[in-house]
Amino acid sequence: MKKIVIAIDGYSSCGKSTTAKAVAAELGYAYIDTGAMYRAVTLYLLEHDIAFDNLPQIEQALHEMHISFKRNRKTGRNELCLDGQIREDEIRQMRISNLVSEVSSIPAVRHAMVAQQQRMGRKRGVVMDGRDIGTTVFPDAEVKVFMTAEVVTRAERRQEELAVKGEQVAVEEIVENLRKRDHLDSTRTESPLRRATDAVLLDTTHMMIDEQVDFVLERVSATLFALAAGAGAERNGGEVVV
């Protein structure tokens, strides 16, 4: 069966990553969390005391740092590695969340990460979630989903995620962070967050994760069926054989 690219874009804490991971697992596809890559760059710059406006040092850092994903055999999840070390917990902290949109708007950072993401998905058979997958990274993705949800709902979800990791943050602080990130992501010059014209909208405000996963899988099934039918028609001189 033909392998495709599934692009899941949208706002923070809509369930993009959880949904994308589950879809990838169901299909046996690779999962790439592009947001984690920008978080890793943010962490690297902070740990190396590189100012966000120091473009020469940022460009040098992008050449020196190594970002990859390693599968955790116990959890079955891909975990982000920065220079060979798993940094999954550190990149999810609020201090990174507060700065990642600023870092991801730097053109040099954007170009470097997009190029790496395109290399990761060049053989297709991948599920990517982020802000610009369906518009910039893979505008030819066969399935595109744009996820959204009410900001308070998103903040409550994010609060639960942080609590599991032992970080207690007020909902009001998270709402402020999300609104700031939404604005920065949507108004930046380089690859702004926007819904691709051919992306289906998925509002997850009142949806469970299983429902979100089923929604995406239904889109995938319909797309694969259409592709198979089209290929069959070509082989049979335009006549679709079922």
Q: How far apart are the first and last CA of the chain?
A: 16
230 appears as a binding residue in the annotation? no
11 appears as a binding residue in the annotation? yes
13 appears as a binding residue in the annotation? yes
14 appears as a binding residue in the annotation? yes
18 appears as a binding residue in the annotation? yes
CA 227 to chain CA centroid, nearest Å: 25
12 appears as a binding residue in the annotation? yes
10 appears as a binding residue in the annotation? yes
Q: 3-state secondary structure string, the chain?
A: CCCCEEEEEECCCCCHHHHHHHHHHHHCCEEEEHHHHHHHHHHHHHHCCCCCCCHHHHHHHHHHCCEEEEECCCCCCEEEEECCEECHHHHCCHHHHCCHHHHHCCHHHHHHHHHHHHHHCCCCCEEEEECCHHHHHCCCCCEEEEEECCHHHHHHHHHHHHHHCCCCCCHHHHHHHHHHHHHHHHHCCCCCCCCCCCCEEEECCCCCHHHHHHHHHHHHHHHHHHHHHHHHHHHCCCCCCC
| Residues that constitute the known binding site for ATP | 10-18
| Residues that constitute the known binding site | 10-18
